[in-house]
Amino acid sequence: MSLRLVFVGPPGAGKGTQAKVICERYKIPQISTGDMLRAGKKAGTLPKELIDTMAAGGLVPDQAVIDLIAKRIDEEDAKNGFLLDGFPRTVPQAEALNKLLADRGSKLDTVLALNVAASLLIERAVLRRTDKRTGQIYHLKYNPPPPDVNPADLEHRADDHEEVVRNRVETYEKMTADLLPFYKKVGLLQELDGVGKVEEVTGRVLGALESIKK
Ligand code: ADP
Ligand code: ADP
């Protein structure tokens, strides 16, 4: 079965954590514009203005991420579907995505929005650590890395500090004020509670995906 979905949620909501489960189950790639931008930064190909925007928790220009997505969805592994994590974030991005898909004779199946109160997000993001060898996401309090993981391999994102997380949450709230109604109007939006144990949230997410009528 093919599945083309957009995963929306504030920073630290658990999108990356849940995306891993969905992608394994549906055999689709997780496409994260944040990961692609960070890879560009590491490779030295990301312009300085974009690095600065990310460091401050703002949004990079629409066209920069639209270009990344346009290329990525044509790769072989995305032919049968994909999970978009962190894209679209604005209505112009959502409109561009509709057009990219329509040009390829396809469309989105659903948009999942993971809701988590702002008060919980700061702690989730600030204590997030990612194993740079495997991409595994940990949380120092809720999902601590096992003792055999070398602490030197655990990455703390440059923008996962309290002040920047606050800015990112604020940016998210402004952006969703337009983006969620855009998807609601066309009947694609499913809002889910992202609070609770990881497995509980996974149950809600998989339930929502199974309910899609194709
Ligand atoms: P996002 O991709 O939405 O920014 P992540 O999946 O990276 O979020 O999760 C942010 C942090 O919160 C990580 O450290 C992760 O281990 C932790 N986390 C994810 N889901 C939960 C949950 N249901 N309860 C507690 N912590 C969680
Ligand atoms: P989050 O944990 O906030 O979900 P991401 O990894 O998705 O973070 O994104 C990190 C940063 O990359 C964002 O704060 C923003 O600067 C930039 N970014 C990622 N995706 C987009 C997008 N679709 N539009 C604009 N900026 C983006």
Distance CA 151, CA 153 (A): 5
> pLDDT tens digits for 32-82?
999 999 999 999 999 999 999 999 989 999 999 999 999 999 999 999 999
168 Cβ below 6 A of ligand 2: yes
Give 186's contacts (C-beta < 8 A, 6+ positions apart).
none
Residues with Cβ within 8 Å of 185's Cβ and at least 6 positions away in sequence, in order, are none
Edge to edge, the sheet with strand 137-139 lists 137-139, 128-131, 154-155
Q: What is d(CA 126, CA 168) in angstroms, rounded to the nearest whole number? A: 12
Our answer on whether the CB atom of 65 is closer than 6 Å to any ligand 2 atom is yes
Looking at all shown ligands, the one closest to residue 66's CA atom is 2
Q: 82 CA to middle of ligand 1, Å?
A: 20
Residue nearest to atom 27 of ligand 1 (CA): 14
Q: What is the average pLDDT across 130-158?
A: 94
**Residue from 142, 160, 176 to probe ligand 1 pocket by mutation (most atoms less than 8 Å from CB):** 142
Average pLDDT over the chain, rounded to an integer? 94
Show the CA angle centred on residue 82, arms to residues 78 and 84, nearest 5°: 125
- In 98-131, which positions are buried (b, 16+ CB within 10 angstroms) versus exposed (e)? eeeeeeeeeebbbbbbbebeeeebbbbbbbbbbe
Cβ pair 205, 13 in contact under 8 A: no
In the chain, % helix, strand, coil (3-state, to 5) comes to: 50, 15, 35
Residue (of 4, 10, 12, 18) closest to 179 by Cα position: 10
Closest-CA residue, ligand 1 atom 5, reads: 14
Tell me the pTM.
0.92
Q: What is the pLDDT of residue 212?
A: 85
Q: Which of 128, 159, 204 to mutate to test the pocket of ligand 1 (most atoms within 8 A of CB)?
A: 128
d(CA 57, CA 163): 9
* Ligand 2 contacts CB of residue 86 (under 6 A): yes
Pick the residue whose CA is nearest to atom 1 on ligand 2: 11
Ligand 1 centre and the CA of 123: distance in Å?
10
pLDDT given for residue 213 in this prediction: 64
**pLDDT tens string 115-138:** 999 889 999 999 999 999 999 999
| DSSP-assigned letter for residue 78 | G
> Is the pLDDT assigned to residue 142 strictly greater than 90?
yes
Quick check: 189 and 6 in contact, CB under 8 A?
no
Contact (Cβ atoms closer than 8 angstroms) between residue 59 and residue 175: yes
Cα-to-centroid distance, 177 and ligand 1 (Å)? 23
Q: Strand ranges (DSSP E) for 59-196?
A: 81-85, 110-115, 128-131, 137-139, 154-155, 189-193
Q: List residues with catalytic annotation.
A: 15, 89, 128, 157, 168
Residue 5 β-bridge partners = 83, 110
Atom of ligand 2 nearest to the CA of 89: 23
